[in-house]
């Protein structure tokens, strides 16, 4: 499965089967976690066979069921942590999708105390959010989406820019708010902004990862 196919197939799934993740898949996930921690200066942990974090009132209220595995998205509380959690967390989400698993980001509907304990964070590390993981009872459904014009601006946009925005529109965002905005500011320069909202910096990291998949990293640079 290519990254683009994973982007198309991924939808949030909140109800999971009672099925263990096979060892070889766990190894592949652990490899990706190690790469993400090194490249993203993060302290992500893969927590397995731990049902407590998604048994809380908030988790059940959020319609989660059967969640026993999750990525604990953590790092030192330095500048840009939320953005890196979004960007590299979505890389884990799409890798999981390629490996036949389903996921759902959770910043609110889970038991933070239980997750923190299970993740065995080192002193000073902050748990930003988690990503539920496992074999879904369904594959989820496509979310309602804003239009290209509502989230992007470009005079005579090149194909790569359109593809980048299309991919970003398929990305998960908190409460599906899609409050991001992409502007083509030069021949191959793109500005990515977040227009407020809950967990906006995590969302911005996520949609930038999707944009790069659609547009192709070789075709543009981010405006600093």
Ligand X SMILES: Cc1cc2nc3c(=O)[nH]c(=O)nc-3n(C[C@H](O)[C@H](O)[C@H](O)COP(=O)(O)O)c2cc1C
Query: What is the contact surface with ligand X in residues (CB under 6 A)?
Result: 11-12, 14, 62, 104-109, 129, 140, 143, 172-176, 199, 202-203, 206
| Residue 3, helix vs strand vs coil | helix
Cβ-based nearer residue to ligand X, 14 or 45? 14
Cβ-based nearer residue to ligand X, 81 or 184? 81
We find the least distance from the C-beta atom of residue 165 to ligand X, in angstroms, to be 16
We find the least distance from the C-beta atom of residue 96 to ligand X, in angstroms, to be 13
Cβ-based nearer residue to ligand X, 111 or 164? 111
We find the least distance from the C-beta atom of residue 104 to ligand X, in angstroms, to be 6
| 143-148 long-range contacts, CB within 8 A, separation 24+ | 143/11, 143/12, 143/172, 143/176, 144/176, 145/169, 145/170, 145/178, 146/178
Residue nearest to ligand X (CB): 172
We find the least distance from the C-beta atom of residue 105 to ligand X, in angstroms, to be 4
Q: What DSSP element (H or E) covers 138?
A: none
Q: What are phi and psi of 8, to 5 degrees?
A: -70, -35
Cβ-based nearer residue to ligand X, 32 or 203? 203
We find the least distance from the C-beta atom of residue 133 to ligand X, in angstroms, to be 13
Measured distance CA(106)–CA(205) in Å, rounded: 15
Q: What DSSP element (H or E) covers 105?
A: strand 102-106
| Angle at 206 (CA atoms; ends 66, 164), nearest 5 degrees | 125
Cβ-based nearer residue to ligand X, 172 or 184? 172
Torsion sign across C-alpha atoms 135, 102, 89, 130: negative
């Amino acid at each position: 499965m290519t990254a683009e196919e994973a982007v198309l197939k991924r939808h949030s799934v909140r109800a999971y089967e009672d099925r263990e993740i096979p060892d070889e898949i766990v190894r592949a996930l652990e490899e990706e976690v190690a790469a993400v921690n090194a490249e993203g200066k993060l302290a992500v942990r893969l927590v397995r066979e731990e049902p407590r974090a998604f048994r809380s009132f908030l988790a059940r209220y959020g319609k989660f069921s059967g969640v026993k595995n999750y990525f604990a998205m953590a790092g030192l509380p330095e500048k840009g942590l939320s953005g890196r959690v979004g960007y590299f967390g979505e890389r884990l989400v799409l890798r999981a999708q390629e490996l036949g698993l389903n996921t759902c980001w959770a910043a609110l509907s889970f038991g933070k105390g239980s997750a923190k304990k299970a993740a065995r964070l080192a002193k000073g590390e902050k748990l930003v959010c988690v990503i539920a993981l496992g074999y879904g009872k369904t594959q989820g459904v496509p979310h309602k989406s804003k239009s290209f014009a509502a989230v992007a601006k470009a005079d005579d946009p090149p194909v790569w820019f359109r593809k980048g925005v299309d991919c970003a529109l398929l990305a998960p965002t908190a409460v599906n708010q899609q409050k991001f905005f992409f502007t083509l500011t030069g021949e191959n320069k793109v500005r990515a902004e977040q227009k407020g909202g809950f967990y906006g910096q995590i969302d911005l990291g996520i949609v930038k990862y999707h944009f790069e998949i659609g547009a192709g990293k070789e075709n543009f640079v981010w405006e600093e």
